[in-house]
Amino acid sequence: MSSSPDQRKASGTAELNTFPKLLQHHARVRGNKVAMREKDLGIWQAWSWQQVLDEVRALACGLAALGFKSGDKLAIIGDNRPALYMSMAAAQCLGGIPVPLYQDSVTKEMAFVLDNADVHYAIVEDQEQVDKLLEIREENRSIRHILYDDPRGMRHYDFPFLDSIENARKQGREYDKAHPGFFDEKADSVRGEDIAIMLYTSGTTGNPKGVVLTYDNVIITARNGIIREGLTENEEVLAYLPMAWVGDNLFSYAQSYVAGFTVNCPESGATILTDLREIGPTYYFAPPRVYENMLTQVMIRMEDASKIKQRLFHYFMALAKRVGTRILDGKDVSLSEKLLYQLGNFLVFGPLRDVLGLNRIRLAYTAGEAIGPEIFDFYRSLGINIKQLYGQTEGMVFICVQPDGEVYADTVGTPAIDVEVKIDDNGEVLYRGPGVFHSYYKNPESTAKTKTEDGWVYTGDAGFFAENGHLKIIDRAKDVGKLQDGTMFAPKYIENKLKFFSFIKEAVAFGDQRENTCIFINIDLDAVGNWAERRNLAYSGYIDLASQDEVYDLVQECVDKVNEDLSQDPLLSNSQIRRFLVLHKELDADDGELTRTRKVRRSFIAERYAPLVEALYSDVPECHIETQVKFEDGRTGMLSADVKIREARQFTPMAKAS
Amino acid sequence: MRIEKEVIYIFLATLFLMVAIPWSVGQLSKDIFFEWPFFFEVAIGGLLAGVMYSLVALGFVLIFKASGVFNFAQGAMVLFSALTLVGLNERGLPMWLAIIVTLAVMLLLAIVIERVVLRSLVNQEHIILFMATIGITYFLDGFGQTLWGSEVKILDLGIPNSPGLYFDGRILINDFDLVAALIAGILVISLALFFQYTRIGRALRAVADDHQAALSVGIPLKHIWVIVWAVAGIVALVAGIMWGSKLGVQFSLALIALKALPVLILGGFTSVPGAIVGGLIIGAGEKLAEVFVAPLIGGGIEDWFAYMLALAFLVFRPQGLFGEKIIERV
Amino acid sequence: MLYREAGEFKSTYRADQAILTIRQDRWFMWALLVVAFLVIPLVSSEYWLGTIMLPFLILALAALGLNVLTGYAGQLSLGTGGFMATGAFAAYKLATAFPELHILVVILMSGGITAGVGLLFGIPSLRIKGFYLAVATLASQFFLIWMFNKFGWFTNYSSSGVISAPPMSLFGDNFVTGPYATPEAKYLFTLTLVVLFALMTKNLVRSNIGREWMAVRDMDIAAEIIGIKMLPTKLKAFGYSSFLCGIAGALWAFVYTGSVEPLAFDVNRSFQILFMIIIGGLGSIMGAFLGAAFIVLLPIFLSNAPHWFGLNIAVDMISHIEFMVFGALIIFFLIVEPHGLARLWQLLKEKLRLWPFPY
Amino acid sequence: MHERKLGEVVLRVEGISLSFGAMRVLNNISFDVRQGEIRSIIGPNGAGKSSMLNVINGVYHPQQGTITYRGVTRDQMKVHHAAAQGIARTFQNIALFKGMSTLDNIMTGRNLKIKSNMLQQAIYWGKAQKEEIEHRKKVEEIIDFLEIQAIRKTPVGKLPYGMQKRVELGRALAAEPELLLLDEPMAGMNVEEKEDMCRFVLDINDEFGTTIVLIEHDMGVVMDLSDRVVVLDYGLQLADGPPDEVRANQAVIDAYLGVSN
Query: Residue B207: its pLDDT value, please?
Result: 65
Disruptive mutation site among C70, C80, C127, C131 for chain B (greatest number of B CBs within 10 Å): C131
Task: Test C5 with A360 for CB contact under 8 angstroms.
Answer: no
* Domain match, D17 and D142 both: no
Helix (H, G, I), strand (E, B) or coil at B299: coil
Low-confidence ranges of chain D (pLDDT < 50): 1-2, 259-261
> Is some CB atom of chain D closer than 8 A to the CB atom of C227?
yes
Q: What's residue B219's pLDDT?
A: 65
Q: How close does chain C come to D69, measured CA to CA in Å?
A: 16
Cβ-Cβ contacts under 8 Å, A152 against chain D: 145, 203, 207
Which of A18-32, A436-450, B67-81 has the weakest average pLDDT?
Answer: B67-81
Distance, in Å, from the CA atom of B3 to the CA atom of A208, rounded to the nearest integer, reads: 85
Residue B206 has what pLDDT?
66
CB spacing of B330 vs D20 below 8 angstroms: no
C225:D118 CB<8 A: no
Where residue A371 falls among pLDDT bands split at 50, 70, 90?
A: confident
Residue A438 amino acid letter? H
Same domain, D181 and D167: no
Degrees, nearest 5: CA angle A163-A167-A173: 140
Q: Is the dihedral of CA A457, A459, A462, A468 positive or negative?
A: negative
Residue range D8-47, pLDDT digits in tens? 999 999 999 998 877 889 999 999 999 999 999 998 887 8
ipTM score: 0.85
First to last CA, chain C: 13
Q: Where are the domains of chain A?
A: 5-284, 287-476, 480-647
Query: pLDDT tens digits for A43-59?
Result: 999 999 999 999 999 99
Per the structure, the complete domain to which residue D150 belongs is given by 98-174
A23 or C309: which leads in pLDDT: A23
Which of the residues A41, A128, A154 would you substitute to probe the D interface, choosing the one with the greatest number of D C-beta atoms within 10 Å? A41
H/E run at residue D181: strand D179-183
Task: Give how far B275 is from chain D: nearest CA, Å.
Answer: 26
User: For testing the chain C interface, which of B148, B263, B303 should be mutated: the one with the most C CBs within 10 Å?
Assistant: B303
Interface of chain D against chain A, CB under 8 Å? 2, 103, 136-137, 140-141, 143-145, 147, 149-150, 152, 203, 206-207
Q: Which residues in chain D are contacts of A270 at CB distance < 8 A?
A: 149-150
Residue A64 has pLDDT above 90, yes or no: yes
Q: Is residue D132 part of a domain?
A: yes
CATH of A287-476, one of 3.40.720.10, 3.40.50.12780, 3.90.1580.10, 3.20.20.140: 3.40.50.12780
pLDDT tens sequence across C7-16: 899 999 999 9
Q: Does D91 touch chain B (CB under 8 A)?
A: yes
- Alpha-carbon distance of A64 to A538, in angstroms, equals 70
Tell me the pLDDT tens digit for each residue of A294-307: 998 888 888 888 99
Output the DSSP codes for D87-155: EEE--SS----TTSBHHHHHHHTTGGG----HHHHHHT-THHHHHHHHHHHHHHHHHHHTT-GGGTTSB
- With contact defined as 3+ CB pairs under 8 Å, the chains touching D are A, B, C
Q: At residue A6, does pLDDT exceed 50?
A: no
B with A: touching (≥3 Cβ pairs within 8 Å): no
In a domain? residue D239: yes
Stretch C118-128: mean pLDDT: 87
pLDDT digits (tens, 9 = 90+) for C330-341: 898 888 888 889
Cβ-nearest to D99 among C208, C214, C228: C214
pLDDT (0 to 100) of residue A629 = 80
Distance from CA of C131 to the nearest CA of A (A): 41
Q: How confident is the model at residue B208 (pLDDT cuts 50, 70, 90)?
A: low
Q: Which chain B residues touch C299 with a CB distance below 8 Å?
A: none
Burial class (CB in 10 A: 0-12, 13-18, 19+), A628: exposed
Across the interface, which of C6, C15, C356 has its CB nearest the CB of A357?
C6
D57 and D30 inside one domain: yes
D147/A268 CB distance under 8 A: yes
Q: CA-CA distance, A264 to A419, in Å (whole number)?
A: 30
Q: Do D59 and B327 touch (CB under 8 A)?
A: no
Q: Can you tell me the distance from the alpha carbon of D195 to that of D215, in angstroms, rounded to the nearest whole number?
A: 16
**Residue B44 to residue D198: CA distance in whole angstroms:** 70
State the nearest Cα–Cα gap between D249 and chain A, in angstroms.
33
pLDDT of residue B326: 58
Predicted pLDDT at A657: 40
Query: Are C330 and B311 a contacting pair at CB < 8 A?
Result: no
Q: Is the per-residue pLDDT at C300 higher than 70?
A: yes
Contacts of A44 in chain D (CB under 8 A): none
pLDDT at A7: 41
Overall average pLDDT of the A552-556 stretch: 93
Percent of chain C with pLDDT over 70: 100
Q: Mean per-residue pLDDT for C147-171?
A: 89
Q: Which of C194, C193, C203 is nearest to C18 (CA)?
A: C203
Contacts of C212 in chain D (CB under 8 A): 108, 111
Asked whether residue D156 falls in the same domain as residue D206, the answer is no
pLDDT confidence band for B259 (50 / 70 / 90): confident
pLDDT over 70 (residue A13): no
B216-275 residues touching C, CB cutoff 8 A: 258, 261-262, 264-265, 269
B149 min Cα distance to partner chain C (Å):
8
B297 touching D (Cβ < 8 Å): no
Residue in chain D nearest A273 by alpha carbon = D150
In which band, very low, low, confident or very high, does the pLDDT at A656 lie, cut at 50, 70 and 90?
A: very low
Percent residues over pLDDT 90 in chain A: 65
Give the closest of C14, C204, C222 to D91, CB-based: C222
Q: Taking CB atoms and an 8 Å cutoff, what residues of chain B touch D92? A: 330
Closest CA to A316 of A296, A346, A336, A355: A346
Give the number of beta-carbon pairs within 8 Å between A and D: 32
Which residues in chain D touch residue B2, judged by CB atoms under 8 angstroms apart?
A: none
- Which pLDDT belongs to residue A10? 42
Question: In terms of CATH architecture, what is C22-354?
Answer: Orthogonal Bundle (1.10)
Q: How confident is the model at residue A596 (pLDDT cuts 50, 70, 90)?
A: low
Kindly report which listed range (A171-175, B12-16, B30-34, C133-137) carries the lowest average pLDDT score.
Answer: B30-34
Do D78 and D113 sit in the same domain of this protein? no
Smallest CA–CA distance, residue B330 to chain D, in Å, is 7
Quote the number of domains for chain D.
2
**Residue in chain C lying closest to B132 (CA):** C331
D219 domain-assigned: yes
C6 vs A358: CB contact, 8 Å cut-off? yes
What are the chain A neighbours of C358 within 8 Å (beta carbons)? 301, 304-306, 309
Question: Which of A278, A297, A298, A361 is most worth mutating to test chain C (most C CB atoms within 10 A of its CB)?
Answer: A278
Distance CA B308, CA B312 (A): 6
Q: Which pLDDT does position C124 carry in this prediction? A: 84
Helices (H) and strands (E) in chain B — how many of each?
12, 2
User: Can you name the CATH fold of A480-647?
Assistant: GMP Synthetase; Chain A, domain 3 (3.30.300)
Residues in B 309-328 with any Cβ partner in D closer than 8 A: 327-328
Mean pLDDT of C50-63: 96
Give alpha helix (H) positions in A230-321: 246-248, 255-259, 272-279, 288-303, 307-319
C32 touches chain A (CB under 8 A): no
Per-residue pLDDT reduced to its tens digit, B63-95 = 887 777 888 888 899 999 999 999 998 888 898
Beta bridge partners of A148: A124, A164
- Closest approach of C327 to chain D, Cα-based (Å): 27
Say which amino acid occupies D59. Answer: V
Question: Which residue, D242, D179, D225, D217, is CA-closest to D11?
Answer: D179
D197-203: long-range contacts, CB 8 A cutoff, minimum separation 24: D197/D165, D197/D166, D197/D169, D198/D224, D198/D225, D200/D145, D200/D146, D200/D166, D200/D169, D201/D38, D201/D225, D202/D1, D202/D38, D203/A152, D203/A153, D203/D145
- CA A392/CA A396 separation, integer angstroms: 6
- The D-side interface with C (CB below 8 A) comprises 57, 59, 79-80, 82-84, 88-89, 91, 95-100, 104, 107-109, 111-112, 114, 116, 118, 121-124, 128-129, 131-133, 136-137, 171-172, 175
- D175: nearest CB among C210, C214, C226: C226
Q: Average pLDDT for residues B18-30, to the nearest whole number?
A: 86
Range in A278-282, A458-462, C175-179 with the lowest mean pLDDT: C175-179
Chain D closest-CA separation from residue A41 CA (Å):
5
Least-confidence region, from A119-123, A145-149, C105-109, C219-223:
C219-223
Q: What is the pLDDT of residues A450-507, one digit of tens each?
A: 999 999 999 999 998 988 899 999 888 888 888 888 888 989 889 988 988 888 989 9
**What average pLDDT does the segment A371-396 reach?**
91
Question: What's the mean pLDDT in A307-325?
Answer: 92
- A400 pLDDT higher than 90: yes
Is A287-476 the same fold as A5-284?
Answer: yes
Question: Out of D89, D114, D171, whose CB is closest to C208?
Answer: D114
CATH of the structural domain A5-284, one choice from 3.30.70.100, 3.10.580.10, 3.40.50.12780, 2.60.40.10: 3.40.50.12780
Has domain B5-316 been given CATH number 3.10.620? no
Smallest CA–CA distance, residue D33 to chain C, in Å, is 20
CB contact under 8 A, D128 and C207: yes
Chain D residues near residue A153 by CB distance under 8 angstroms = 203, 206-207
pLDDT for position C1? 73
| Pair C356, A344: CB distance under 8 Å | no
D167-184, pLDDT tens digit by residue?
999 999 999 999 999 999
Q: Which amino acid is at A413?
A: G
Residue A5 has a pLDDT of 41
**Residues sharing a CB contact under 8 Å with residue D71, sequence separation 6 or more, in sequence order:** none
Q: Is residue D184 assigned to a domain?
A: yes
- Percent of chain A past pLDDT 70, that is, above it, reads 96
Residue at B13: amino acid letter: A
pLDDT band at B217 (very low <50, low <70, confident <90, very high): low
